[in-house]
Amino acid sequence: MSLLKSAARRGFLMSFAVLAATASFILATPHAQAQPRPAKLIITAIPDDGDADRMRENFGALARHLGDAVGIPVEYMHVENYAASVTALATGRAHIAWLGAVTTAQARMMMGEQLVVLGCRDIDKGFVSYFIANPATGLTQVDSLAELAGSAEGKGWSFTFGSKSSTSGHMMPRKFFQDETGAGPESVFRTVAYSGSHDVVMQMVADGTHQVGALNYASWDKASDELKARAPIIYTTPPFTNYALTARADLGPDLLAALKAALLGIDDGTEEGKRILGYLKAGQFIDADIAEWMGYVELLESGIDIGG
Amino acid sequence: MSAIAIAPSFAFHPKRPLGHFVAIVATLLALAAAFHAAEWDFAALTDPALRAWAAERMAAWLVAFGSPDLSWSFIVHAWDLTLQTLSAAVLGTVLAVMLAWPLAMGASRKVCVGEERPALRWPGWRHFPLRSPAAALCAICRLIQDVLRAVPDFVWAIILVAMIGLGPLTGALALALNITGILAKVYSELWDSVDDARFAQVRSQGGGRIATFLYGIRPLASRNVLSFTLMRAECAIRNAAVIGAVGGGGLGSEIWYQIRFGAWDKVSTLILFTLLLTLTADLASNLIRRQLRGDPNRAAAAPAAVSGEVAARVRPPCRPWFAALFVVGVLGWSIWFMGWGNQAGQDGVPRNHLAPATALLTGEAWSNLRFFERLLSPELDLAAIGVGDAASVAARQANGTAVALFAEHGPLSVWRVEAWQAWQAELRKWFVWRAIESAAVPLAIAVVGTVLGVAGAILLTYPHSATFQRHAQRFSGESPSRWVVALRGLQLAAARATAMVSRGVPEVMWAFLFIAFFGPGLVAGTIAIALHTLGVLTRVFGESVDNLALRRFEPVCGASRSLVFGVVAVPLVWREWMTYSFFQFESNVRAAVVLGLIGVGGLGFQFSFNFEWFRFERAGTYLIVIIALTVLIDRTSRAMKLSSTSR
């Protein structure tokens, strides 16, 4: 029986060869080099605020401001997942990203020198997290997390962090908890959950779905007084560095400088500036360098216990 | 003569139907294992304080559910979300059907491998995948469909973000990949279940594998293929929460958000819209089904036609064309909406969301896959079991984190309970073992949830069946009074509404609701799965009962309705029911893995945790466990030949 038994088989082999050749041609095309000035910039952000519309509105304003300043349309793309925003930035599917400290460190670990920090808020260099508790627990103020752990012992309380990849909603509260008590929250509370975002943590603690939770202070301050009364602060963590507006280095130094100038130039004189700063609870944006987040990179690389 | 003559002599003829007893014992064992292996915390159901609290929250929800947020702006918003969900789900399903066909052809042994002459006398030879190129292709296709199905859709979404960027299309494609795996499995199993003898004439007349498939196997299985496709399409529409995960909007992610936030009035509006969508999809799929195949009872009930009328009725079959036109119309709308009609999140500026797909033709999109390369080198933690370079093994042994299995109890003390406990404690020092153990949680949830759901569905099928509630006089010989007819109609409506609500709301949404009621944990997850299973199964159970031709009840003419149901209808469809139940179990295991992501714990939680922290090596290990679980269940169901129902 001959190998080329029939015309049909020959045709099949031919078409397969053509297909393979095309595929290899396409795959072998050299990477699209970084354009000096891309036609459009995409900005994304970690979804630390559960309200997608609110984020679209306010980050849309930031996108418009940056776009007007550098003369390139900038579009905000909303994602519902922390890892998706880092992936988009690291693979060049987004050009600018509003990241937390942990996500900045993750992006840095994957992108190396390709990651630059455009700037951060004035409040980001001394950020704190709050531990909050449902009033039904009877907790008021605690002086240390060891005291919290002591009073939670054997009560069967449930604890909630925000998103797993959040700095102020998970990693730093967990780190302080472990440093002060010598054990993870898993060994003290009945369940430890991850609610997804800061405002959801507050809502869930207020509703009593979870008894104790941790979230960043800005999200707590933003909430209504009625909600604050149902989820009072019991502990404030020591300060740490947090969010940054990051970008890809392949945008080119000129464009990066223009973006940086536009960011630092935001003030509450304009309608848009007022809205952005008001939403982000900031006085202004300030200059920052990736070096200030390198501590987090080391912390992550040291294999710190993050409960997974 | 070969296949037809030999096959029966090799076939296993059981003298007694032991299968059912084996199944019952296996189910009981699985239940016992489920309660033993995972940590069940029934406090939410037993502790009076917690129970009162849960009741209070449920009452609050019910009150809010009765007064949905019907403000105009929110209704417009929900309507937009509904359209987004619909277009993404339709696109995803159509793409999935197109991808699933070739994949299923490869994965079906009867299509891909075809007739085989045993090279060895050993019967296990047929299970060796490298016996021929076609068999190897079959094994590879099966593995591909298992991977497509096992990897949670949010992971596909993130991988696609790296390839084509953010947008609703990314979510739709992620959905398509996931459904491809599900459909390909079902198709290949249905095709494999067609009895060889039924298409032997195509082979005997010289048809090759393709001809046998096209003219023999495919038409014989087409009825089941159609009903599964429509069922999955419906599920896709409901479960399309992934669309929102990477920038697409949609109902799923919005409900997710509003439930977490406790905005029950908005949740209730959104659930109403989801139900509306489900009901529409239900009606549409019934319409397509009716166009493509007749109703056995209606044909039988039609008065005998005079021959002249018969001649007048014979005309070219238009109905399949109507069905095709309908599907093409819906697809056309979806493409238009995805491309140009969807204005979500761009400040109302329309833009083409289909454009990113062209990125798939560039090398960059594919080279970006390298970002996930580390998933392929899973962390096996070999040092813990003494494999690998000597230094790290020694270090692990020195600090006591290496597995020393028989350090305390030798292999001879298998009869001692503490020996097993010590062995387990030792094995837990090995990361891979911990990964395997974490599969207990989704398995336990799925086993208990499926058993509860199946039991509930069996009970609900009787009031849910139109045959028994509306057409009973056609076989029972009774002439019920108007009141009885009305009462039965009411029963039917109530049962249908219950089933529709419980399947119209996806598992994840139920889980969120029950987590809000009972707190996070296995109990909430199990109830969610059981409730959803109840809805899905009641529908397919009821359908198989209603599909029975009424003439099959003739032998017991005159018996009461319940007797006919219990003694005739149920035994006739029992095998089919169990097939559906096992398919549902398989999908429940995957659902339970996903529930892990939202705080129920176990395998899914560990996987997503490591994935989101970009610890891809560890995530890779958990992924292997997820895939292994899927493969295991799939091969079991194939080995049991569950889908070989005679239809």
Q: Which of A232, A240, A234, A220 has the alpha carbon at shortest distance from A175? A: A240
Contact B516 A207 (CB under 8 A): yes
pLDDT in tens, B450-491: 999 999 999 999 999 988 898 888 887 778 889 999 999 999
> Does A164 contact B257 at a Cβ distance shorter than 8 Å?
no
For A34, nearest residue in chain B (alpha carbons): B364
What tokens were used for A83?
Answer: 């890892």
Q: Is A178 part of any domain? A: yes
Domain range list for chain B: 82-116+126-297+326-364, 382-429, 447-593
Residues 247-266 on B with a CB inside 8 Å of A are 247, 253-254, 257, 260-262
B611 touches A at CB < 8 Å:
yes
For residue B570, give how far its alpha carbon lies from the nearest alpha carbon of chain A (Å). 43
Residue A57 lies in a domain: yes
The token pair at B126 is: 């047929």
- A121-156 pLDDT, tens digit each: 988 888 899 999 999 888 888 888 888 988 888 888
Element (H, E) at A41: strand A41-45
pLDDT band of B535, cuts 50, 70, 90: very high
Kindly indicate the confidence band of residue B148, based on its pLDDT and cuts at 50, 70 and 90: very high
Packing angle, helices B319-336 and B72-107, rounded to 10: 120
Domain shared by A65 and A143, yes or no: no
- Do A193 and A245 sit in the same domain of this protein? no
Mean pLDDT estimate for chain B: 81
Last residue of a domain, one of A236, A253, A273: A236
Cα gap B612→B606, rounded to integer Å: 10
Q: What are phi and psi of B411, to 5 degrees?
A: -65, -10
Question: A100: closest CA among A113, A91, A89, A92?
Answer: A89
| Residue among B253, B366, B610 whose CB faces A80 most closely | B253
Taking CA B248 as the corner, what is the angle to CA B244 and CA B251, rounded to the nearest 5 degrees? 55
Same domain? For A54 and A84 the reply is: yes
- Give the best residue of A40, A91, A191 to mutate against chain B (max B CB count within 10 A): A91
How close is the nearest chain B Cα to the Cα of A72, in Å? 16
- Domain that residue A135 falls in: 128-236
Tell me if chain A has a CB within 8 Å of the CB of B165. Answer: yes
- The alpha-helical segments, DSSP class H, found in B465-521 are 466-469, 473-476, 482-504, 507-518
Distance (Å, rounded) from C-alpha A244 to C-alpha A116?
Answer: 10
Pair A96, A224 in one domain: no
Looking at residue B293, its pLDDT comes to 63
Rounded Cα gap, residues A131 and B334, in angstroms: 46
Q: Which residue has the higher pLDDT, A12 or B16?
A: B16
Residue B331 pLDDT grade (very low, low, confident, very high; cuts 50, 70, 90): very high
Same domain, A112 and A45: yes
User: B536-561: per-residue pLDDT in tens?
Assistant: 899 889 988 888 888 888 777 778 88
- Touching A: B residues 355-414, CB under 8 Å: 361-364, 366-368, 371
- Sign of torsion over alpha carbons B272, B273, B277, B280: positive
CA-nearest of A165, A307, A173 to A235 is A173
- Shared domain for A138 and A218, answered yes or no, is yes
Find the CB nearest A194 among B254, B345, B599.
B599
Contacts 24+ apart (CB under 8 A), B377-380: B377/B617, B377/B620, B378/B617, B378/B618, B378/B620, B378/B621, B378/B623, B378/B624, B379/B431, B379/B617, B379/B618, B379/B620, B379/B621, B380/B431, B380/B432, B380/B621
The CA-CA-CA angle for residues B354, B357, B362, to 5°, reads 150
What residues of A are in contact with residue B247 (Cβ under 8 Å)? Answer: 77-80
Dihedral of the CA atoms A157, A162, A163, A166 (nearest 10)? -120
Q: B613 vs A165: CB contact, 8 Å cut-off?
A: yes
Q: Would A97 be classed as within a structural domain?
A: yes
Which chain B residues contact residue A19 at CB under 8 A?
none
Taking residues B104-132, report their average pLDDT: 79
Name chain B contacts of A200, Cβ cutoff 8 Å: 260-261
- Give me the residue from A29, A79, A106 closest to B166, CB to CB: A79
pLDDT value of residue B6:
41
Q: Report pLDDT digits (tens) over B562-595.
A: 888 998 899 888 888 888 888 889 889 988 888 8
Encode pLDDT of B211-227 as tens digits: 999 998 988 888 778 87
Name which of A95, A209, A272, A301 to mutate to probe chain B: the one with the most chain B Cβ atoms within 10 A of its Cβ.
A209
Identify the domain boundary among A236, A258, A289.
A236
Chain A residue numbers with beta carbons less than 8 Å from the beta carbon of B614 are 83, 86, 106, 109-110
Strands A191-194, A96-99: parallel, antiparallel or unpaired by DSSP? Answer: unpaired
Check residue B239 and give its pLDDT: 67
Same domain, A136 and A227: yes
Task: Say which residue the tokens 């190998």 belong to.
Answer: A3
User: What mean pLDDT do residues B88-102 have?
Assistant: 91
Asked if residue A245 and residue A202 are part of one domain, the reply reads: no
- Interacting residues of B639 by C-beta distance below 8 A, sequence separation 6+: none
- Are A134 and A211 members of one domain? yes
C-alpha to C-alpha distances, B421 to A259, B77, B407, B440, B592, nearest whole angstrom: 61, 55, 13, 17, 27
Tell me what pLDDT residue A24 has: 52
> What does the pLDDT look like over A205-246, one tens digit per residue?
988 888 899 998 988 988 889 999 999 999 999 999 999 999
In terms of Cα–Cα distance, which of B93, B356, B44, B392 is closest to B232? B93
pLDDT above 70 (res A26): no
Cα within 13 Å of Cα(A233), Cβ side: 17
- Check pLDDT > 60 for residue B144: yes
Q: Tell me: do A228 and A274 sit in the same domain.
A: no
Asked whether residue A20 is assigned to any structural domain, the reply reads no
Q: Tell me phi and psi for residue A224, to 5 degrees.
A: -75, 160
- In this structure, whether the domain defined by B82-116+126-297+326-364 belongs to CATH 1.10.3720.10 is answered with yes
Residue A196's closest CA among A225, A160, A230? A160
Q: Is B59 left (phi over 0), alpha (psi -120 to 50) or beta?
A: alpha
ipTM score: 0.77
Q: Is A308 contained in some domain?
A: no
**Spatial separation of the C-alpha atoms in residues B309 and B305, rounded to whole Å:** 6
Domain final residue, candidates A236, A257, A292: A236
User: How far apart, in Å, are the Cα atoms of B107 and each of A256, B100, B638?
Assistant: 51, 10, 12
CATH level 2 (architecture), domain B447-593: Orthogonal Bundle (1.10)
CATH number at residue A95: 3.40.190.10
Name the helix (H) or strand (E) containing A75: strand A74-77
Inter-residue contact B163 to B368 (CB < 8 Å): yes
Name the domain count of chain A.
Answer: 2
